[in-house]
């Protein structure tokens, strides 16, 4: 695999692909401050057995364009003055559309985690013609009442950035202890390795802040999410302290016919022991979407909203 770049929505985006280009395309969208490495090679490989997988660096992380824009005033954004935020989630969604254009992909299965789920939702809301199915993982509509992290998890977002590679590795372990999955402890070596590789590719605290500003400037997207009519799967960990499970339930409730899977013991990460389950959920739901709306029904799932006609 080799990282390639393309021009999209006025930016340069770095991306990698897995699998047969003749398979149905699937785009993976990362969370705040997370590079394409956040979707592990093995996880992508499992999906690539049946999909043409694209993972990419969002704007302001990794090897994609880092904006020449000042760091937003996060405290002011929390207080309601989001004028310092240089962009919103809608803009990041249009980056994804631009990526599809650059790769000559008419439509794709769009999968996003955390901020990536918010971006994926807005791709489906703004450009439903480009989305075969939407999978929103550990994400939310942004409504304040369903999006409040625990105090300890909030501190993870507001903590000063790492000042060295070693500090970044230590911090990755600490973050996992706070927001990871209680039933599925992460491997410390894997966490440290990912943090080190991410540091080596790019380290931009201001970019993280600009993405955070985009979230705060796009606070309650419920009305936009209610317009989504593409087949939608919502996956959420029951023990998520950063984006509480109420955010996933609200997402599913807002989208007609959406299907919700709440996973016991899962926090705000994608633990390795759950990869087979997560991959099966994504692939089987996508297969039903490919087969047509009548087939979009998951046996044993917790349903949200009316069945899709």
Both structure tokens of 280: 């099966």
Q: Tell me how far apart the alpha carbons of residues 15 and 279 are, in angstroms, rounded to a whole number.
A: 20
Residue 157 covered by a domain: no
Residue 250 covered by a domain: yes
- Residue 16, φ and ψ in degrees, nearest 5: -135, 155
Q: Are 286 and 260 in contact (CB under 8 A)?
A: no
pLDDT band at 166 (very low <50, low <70, confident <90, very high): very high
Residue 180 covered by a domain: no
Residue 172 covered by a domain: no
CATH code where residue 39 lies: 3.40.50.1820
Indicate left, alpha or beta for 138 from its phi (over 0: left) and psi (-120 to 50: alpha).
Answer: left
Residue 192 covered by a domain: no
Say yes or no to pLDDT of 91 above 70. Answer: yes
Q: Which domain holds residue 294?
A: 4-146+205-303
pLDDT band at 169 (very low <50, low <70, confident <90, very high): very high
Per-residue confidence (pLDDT) for residue 293, from 0 to 100: 58
3 state DSSP class of 132: strand
Say yes or no to pLDDT of 52 above 60. Answer: yes
Q: In what order do the strands lie in the sheet with 25-29?
A: 4-8, 11-18, 52-56, 25-29, 108-113, 131-137, 232-237, 259-263, 302-303
Please say whether the dihedral angle defined by the alpha carbons of residues 272, 274, 280 and 285, taken in this order, is positive or negative: negative
Listed in sequence order, the residues at least 6 apart from 309 whose beta carbon sits closer than 8 Å to its beta carbon are 293
Say yes or no to pLDDT of 239 above 50. Answer: yes
Please say whether the dihedral angle defined by the alpha carbons of residues 112, 116, 121 and 125, taken in this order, is positive or negative: negative
Residue 242 covered by a domain: yes
Q: Tell me how far apart the alpha carbons of residues 267 and 244 are, in angstroms, rounded to a whole number.
A: 9
Q: Are 302 and 262 in contact (CB under 8 A)?
A: yes
Report the domain count for the chain. 1
Per-residue confidence (pLDDT) for residue 139, from 0 to 100: 98
Residue 83 covered by a domain: yes
Say yes or no to pLDDT of 128 above 50. Answer: yes
3 state DSSP class of 156: helix
Residue 262 covered by a domain: yes
What is the pTM assigned to this prediction? 0.94
Structure confidence by residue, pLDDT tens digits, 215-235: 999 999 999 999 999 999 999
Both structure tokens of 306: 């009316």
Residues facing 6 on adjacent strands: 13
Listed in sequence order, the residues at least 6 apart from 80 whose beta carbon sits closer than 8 Å to its beta carbon are none
Say yes or no to pLDDT of 113 above 90. Answer: yes
Per-residue confidence (pLDDT) for residue 104, from 0 to 100: 98
Dump strand ranges (E) for the chain. 4-8, 11-18, 25-29, 52-56, 108-113, 131-137, 232-237, 259-263, 302-303
């Amino acid at each position: 695999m080799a990282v390639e770049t393309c021009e999209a929505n006025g930016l340069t985006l770095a991306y990698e692909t897995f699998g047969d280009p003749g398979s149905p395309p699937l785009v993976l969208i990362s969370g705040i401050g997370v590079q394409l490495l956040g979707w592990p090679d093995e996880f992508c490989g499992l999906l690539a057995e049946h999909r043409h997988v694209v993972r990419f660096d969002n704007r302001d992380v990794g090897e994609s364009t880092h904006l020449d824009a000042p760091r937003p005033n996060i405290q002011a954004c929390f207080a309601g003055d989001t004028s310092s935020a240089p962009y919103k989630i809608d803009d990041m969604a249009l980056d994804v559309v631009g990526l599809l254009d650059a790769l000559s992909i008419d439509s794709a299965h769009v999968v996003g985690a955390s901020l990536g789920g918010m971006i994926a939702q807005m791709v489906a809301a703004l450009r439903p013609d480009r989305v075969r199915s939407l999978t929103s993982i550990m994400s939310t509509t942004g409504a304040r009442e369903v999006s409040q992290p625990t105090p300890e998890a909030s501190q993870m977002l507001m903590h000063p950035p790492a000042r060295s590679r070693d500090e970044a590795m230590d911090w990755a372990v600490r973050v996992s202890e706070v927001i990871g999955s209680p039933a599925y402890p992460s491997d410390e070596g894997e966490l440290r390795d990912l943090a080190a590789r991410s540091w080596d590719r790019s380290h931009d605290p201001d970019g993280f802040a600009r993405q955070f500003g985009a979230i705060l400037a796009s606070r309650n997207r419920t009305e936009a999410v209610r317009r989504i009519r593409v087949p939608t799967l919502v996956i959420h960990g029951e023990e998520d302290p950063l984006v509480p499970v109420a955010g996933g339930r609200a997402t599913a409730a807002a989208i007609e016919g959406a299907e919700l899977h709440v996973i016991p013991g899962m926090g705000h990460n994608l633990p390795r022991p759950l990869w087979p389950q997560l991959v099966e959920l994504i692939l089987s739901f996508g297969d039903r979407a490919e087969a047509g709306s009548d087939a979009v029904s998951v046996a044993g799932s917790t349903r949200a909203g009316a069945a899709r006609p």
